[in-house]
Amino acid sequence: MGAPIKFDDGVCIFREGERAEATFLLLSGQIEILKKTSDDFIQLELLSPGEVFGQIDVVDSYKRSVTARALGEVLVQVLGPQTSQELRVDEEDAKKQVNSLTDSLKSYGRPLVTADSRKILDEARDKKGVWGLIGGLIARRRNKNRVFQIGIGTLIGDNLGANSERLFKVLNMALELNATIFSNVEQNYGHQNLFENIQNFSLNGRGVLIKKDADLLLFGRVEEISNNLNIHFLSRKMGEDRAGEFLVSDRLPLPANYSELYEKLIVLSVISAIVPRSEASRLMVHANLMSNMDTVEEFDEIIAGVIGDLDKSAVQVCIGNILSTLGSNTGDEKWYNEAEKRYKSATNVNDTDSMEFANASYHYGRLVHMLGERKRSVSLIKSALKNYTDASRILTKNKFPWEWSLLQNRMGTAYYRIDVLEGSIENIKPSVFCFQAALKIISKKVDPIKWSEIKNNLAQTLQIWGDMAGSNETVELAIKCCNEALEVRTRNETPLSWAATQNNLGSAQFLLGRKLRDKNLIEDSLKSLNKALEIYEIYGAKRLAQITTRNLNKSRRQLSGIDSEETNTISLERGAEMLNIGDVDDSARHLTRPMDQKSL
């Protein structure tokens, strides 16, 4: 390898259509991956330090399928063709690389905090594959800034600071965690405000995290009699309401003199509670989880020693979150299956009015909802709906407005999906009511991304309801909701979400155009569906592209036969417009990018 190369802001590392002769490793700065379309470029990815790019073109096509452009000043390492061949590994090989790196980290037998850790990580760096390169980047940073910054905030009742100090030591012994005690959080926000209004503390706490440039804040209280510690987790970045994401009301109960096994659980919980800021950050989360994970069974020793069903439930939820995060990062269903067992066990408490029961029900619902979507299982989605109902009874609009509104969105999606899978329309009205309820709390100003998602979901159900009831006004409201969602969902920044809403808009325009026999609306429908199809084809989303193509053909038939009575029977297919909640995002992690044109 030669010396690293610097590129100034706006300079292209390579352009679409050029001959591909090398792969690159981004050392510093950010690079955007762009795809040329009919009239513009769209951003497919935003790369961060540690990511390898351009390797698929070198191996597969020898012509660049995308453009890579510097955002600000960047430094890249050019990797030769031979290295590119080494990086070309399939999914099973990638898993072996992860396991190999993990075994190397575990073989040392203790947290990697000494100078000897450099030797182990240097060995990992020499391994072939992307994960070996990640190990190398970790090794080069050992004496520099660690990846994840953790703040230890208010621990009520920790008068001498002993619990804060122990957490500080435990976390700083872990790979890539840098813990700091935030001594001013308590005096700024006070004891009572912390637990009596946890929602306000969430907003204040995120302000502290932004000011301190940290990823996660720990806070909690020490019990007066037992001296047991309960810690909560607050991530700087708001999550996307995915299975395994920590709720701010989740707690990890720790005995006064907790063991080394508890220390491991603390570290794993902290890593899992971090909402990654980038794809490179997500890879680091996964590498660190795997390096600290031995077996699932080791957690049973902790559970066996926990006294009280509420504390057991809280611990099981934290373990379930860890396992769900591993499942999300690997796509391996075994982690989800283990997490499901933990969440289900966590719901078995005597006090069904407790926060622990609410948290467990929320998490269990999110996981079985996601599994139900993947397996197209009505029974699993109905189980999710029951758990959401149980959780919303405790996480009320008045006390927990944010969680309540997210639950309303999830319940609306569950009602809709049950109808789609059963070929029914009986749950459309409750689905609409749930989405409308969620929008009473989640506004465009508070969270534009989530707001646009719910607007899109509402539009989907409104057009079905309007078509069913023969109400042109309801379908027009669906079109209005789509256009509002498109104020946030843009082609360049959120292409998949933008395409989903364009597809949704095209469907609503078709329904209204068919009812009014309006050629202009049908033509608008064709335009919207074509916009969606272009993005689906770019991302290799074959199933969505196929449905959209069939709908386009039906719209063309409607347009050509607008004066014929028989075209009134033409209907578009359902199911393509609403993204599976918590299972698809604009990082396209679950879809194929143009850089890697494997089939889904």
Number of H helices, E strands in the chain: 23, 11
List strand residue ranges (DSSP E) for 81-195, in order.
Answer: 148-156, 177-181
Q: Confidence class of residue 49 from pLDDT cuts 50, 70 and 90?
A: confident
Q: What is the DSSP string of 27-52?
A: EEEEEEEEEE-SSSEEEEEEE-TT-E
Q: Indicate if the pLDDT at residue 478 is higher than 70.
A: yes
Identify the DSSP state of 569: G
Both tokens of residue 269? 């919980």
Cα distance between residue 113 and residue 140, in whole Å: 14
**From CA 365, how far away is CA 414, in angstroms rounded?**
10
pLDDT at 141 over 90: no
**Residues of 528-542 as b/e, b for ≥16 C-beta within 10 angstroms?**
bbbbbbbbbbbbbbe
Per-residue pLDDT reduced to its tens digit, 555-596: 898 888 765 555 555 566 655 445 444 444 443 333 333 322
3 state DSSP class of 562: coil
Residue 15, SS3?
Answer: coil
Contact 153, 219 (CB under 8 A): yes
Confidence tier at 509 by pLDDT (50, 70, 90)? very high
**179 within 8 A of 152, measured Cβ to Cβ:** yes
Within a 10 A sphere around the Cβ of 344, how many other Cβ atoms?
17
pLDDT in tens, 402-421: 899 999 999 999 999 999 99
pLDDT of residue 179: 94
How far apart CA 46 and CA 48 sit, in angstroms, is 7
Report the run of H or E that residue 236 belongs to, with start and end.
none
Judged against a pLDDT cut of 80, whether residue 493 lies above it is answered with yes
pTM, whole model, 2 decimals? Answer: 0.74
Backbone angles phi, psi at 473, to 5 degrees: -60, -40
Least confident stretch, 79-88, 353-362, 478-487: 79-88
Which SS3 state, helix, strand or coil, does residue 576 take? coil
> By CB neighbour count within 10 A (0-12 exposed, 13-18 middle, 19+ buried), where does 384 fall?
buried
> If one looks up domain 145-293 in CATH, what number appears?
3.40.50
Residue with tokens 């009205």: 429
CATH code for residues 1-88: 2.60.120.10
**For a pLDDT cut of 70, what percent of the chain falls above it?**
77
Which residues face 76 on adjacent strands?
A: 5, 26
Q: What are the Cα distances from residue 338, in Å, to 96, 107, 294, 548, 569?
A: 21, 25, 14, 36, 47
Question: Can you give the residue ranges of every domain in the chain?
Answer: 1-88, 145-293, 440-569
- Measured between alpha carbons, how far is residue 432 from residues 108, 362, 382 in Å? 55, 21, 17
* Mean local confidence (pLDDT), 322-337: 90
What was the pLDDT predicted at 562? 67
Residue (of 374, 438, 298, 397) closest to 590 by Cα position:
374
pLDDT at 338: 95
